[in-house]
Chains A and B, each alone.
Chain A
C-alpha cells in the first residue's frame, strides 16, 4: 500500500476534517445568514431547527398585486446548490406565471438555475414576478391573455381575485394583508 503520509511534505499536509454537516446545510446557513430582506418580505420557519424548509411571505407595495400577501414554500434538498430549491405558491392566485395548484414559472427555478445563485436570488425573482407578470411565459393562459389584451381589465381582475373573487369562473383565495 502506498505510504500516502510520506507524500505529505509535497502537499503541505492534510487539511480539514469532520464536516458533520452537509455542504447543502452550510450553504443554506450562509445564504440565510447574509439575507437582507426588504420590508416587503417576511420568512417563517415552521420548525426552527430546520433551515431547509421554510415559508416566505411577499407583500408587494406597488403594481398589480399591492395590498396582498403571497405565501411561498421553500424546500431545499441535500443536493443544493446543485439542485435549485423547490418553491410553490401556497395560495390559489390569479397570475399569468403561477398555476392554481402553486407551480411557478420562473426561469431560475428550473432551466436557468445555477449553483452560484442563492436563496436571495430566488426571493428577488419571486418578488419580480409579482411586480411584473409576464404574459409571454404563461402557466395560467387566461390570465396571460387578459394581461396581453387589456391591462386595465387584467388589473381589475387581479383586484377582484386577491379579495377572494372569481375571475373567468374560477374562484381565488383572499390574500389581502391583514
Chain B
C-alpha cells in the first residue's frame, strides 16, 4: 500500500499518479499565455473545497471526474434515495443500495475507490443549508434535474456576493441534460448572466387543454393526464399523489388504461404513465458523461487558471450527430435576481413608512409613482388590491423602526420599475 512506503516514494507515486494532470500544470500553456505553472496551483487543487449538487446521473459522473482529476475535498448534497431504475447509469450505486441515500452511497463509493479523496455527503435539500455552508466552497457544480432547485441555488449565490469581499463570489458551474440534449455553463454570480437571466430559454412544460383531457382524448397521454388531474382528486380527495409510490402509479395506469379502452386509444403503458406524471424524459448515459466532463473541465480550468474557462454557455445536441454551440449568454438588466442593484438609503428610523414613500416619489433618480413594500416576502404596504391596501394602511403611519431594523432590506415594486428595487435602509 502506498501509505506504508517512505515519503519520498509516496511523492514519486503521487507524481506518477497525476502525471496526466501535471502535464497541464507543470508547463506554461499555449492556450493561456498568461498561465504561470507555480506549485501553489497543484496544492490548490488538492485543498480546494468543491461542492457537487446532485448525486444522480450527472452527479455520479461529476464526482468520479473530480476525484480522478485530483480534487481531494469534495462535498456532495442530494435529498434523494436510490431507485432501481437509476442503476443503469448511476454507476456509483449497486442493487443492494436501492433505498439508500444517493449522497451517502456515492460518497462512500468514491472514498473507497479513489485513495486520498474525501467525499463528504449531505443527505438533505439544498434549501436546508444556509449561506455559511455555501460560503465554505471554492467552486459549486450543479447536476440537477429541477428548475426550482437551480433557481434557488442561483439566487442564493447571487445574493451572497458582497462587493467588498472577493471570497463571497462562488463560481457556479451548471450542467443539465434532457435526453440527447444538454448544456454546461459557467455562472459568475453578479458578473455574468445568471440562471434567472435565461429563464425565457426554457421550453415550457407540455400541457394539454383540460377540456381535451376531459372530453375528447385522442392520445394515451390524454388518458393518463385525465387519470392524474381529474380522476385522482375525485377518488382520493385530499390525499396527494406520490409519484414515487408504485401503488399510486399502478392505480393511475389502470385508470388511464380503462379510459383508453373506452375511447379506443392504444399505447397506455405503466412506464408511459410514470413518464407522463413524473415528466420523465429518458436519461441518456452518454449525454450525462459528456456534460459532466465539460463541467469538470471548467472546474479544473477555473481552479488552476491553466486554460480559459467557458464564457459562458455551451449547448450540446446528440440528436442527429454530435453538435455543440458555445456562446456568451447576455446578462439581463431587468433580471429579477442579478439585474437590480441594492440601493442603500439613510433614513431616520422615527420617520413613518408614508414619509419614506413620499421621499421615494420625490427623489429624482427613483421616480416612483405608487410603490409597494415588502420585507422578506411579507407585505408592509401594498397599493392594491383594495382589501390588502386597507389591511396594511395602518403600517403607513408607523415609524420605520417599528416595522424593521436598521440595515434590513425591503423590496420595492412600482409600475415604473422593470422589476423591483432592493432597498437597504440604514437608520440615522
Contacts and interface: CB of A to CB of B under 8 A. Distances in A.
A36 B389 CA distance: 12
A4 B171 contact: yes
Contacts of A169: none
A29 B387 contact: no
A96 to B, nearest CB: 9
B31 interface: no
A8 B305 CA distance: 17
Give chain A's interface residue range (CB within 8 Å of chain B): 35 or more
Contacts of A11: 191
Contact of A1 (B48, B230, B370): B48
Contacts of A26: 336, 374, 411, 413, 419-420
B113 to A, nearest CB: 27
A35 B341 contact: no
Interface in B338-365: 338-342
Contact of B392 (A14, A21, A23, A48): A48
Contacts of A111: 206-209
B167 to A, nearest CB: 9
A61 interface: no
B163 interface: yes
B328 to A, nearest CB: 12
A131 interface: no
Contacts of A42: 385-387
Candidate in B305, B415, B417, B420 with the most chain A CB atoms within 10 angstroms: B420
Interface in B405-428: 409, 411, 413-415, 417, 419-420, 422, 424
A20 B162 contact: no
A90 interface: no
Interface residues of B, number: 77
Given A21-B377, A139-B215, A29 B233 contact: no
B151 A23 contact: yes
22 contacts: A4-B191, A14-B191, A15-B163, A15-B341, A16-B337, A20-B376, A21-B376, A26-B420, A27-B336, A29-B374, A30-B372, A32-B372, A32-B388, A42-B386, A44-B387, A45-B391, A79-B148, A83-B205, A110-B208, A110-B209, A111-B209, A138-B211
Interface of B: 44, 48, 138, 147-148, 151-152, 155, 158-163, 166, 169, 171, 188-191, 196, 199-200, 202, 204-211, 214-215, 229-230, 233-234, 302-303, 305, 309, 336-342, 370-372, 374, 376-379, 382-388, 391-392, 409, 411, 413-415, 417, 419-420, 422, 424
The 5 closest A-B pairs by CB, nearest first: A33-B372, A137-B211, A14-B190, A30-B413, A5-B166
Given A1-B302, A5-B166, 8 more contacts: A15-B338, A16-B340, A17-B422, A18-B409, A19-B158, A22-B377, A42-B387, A43-B385
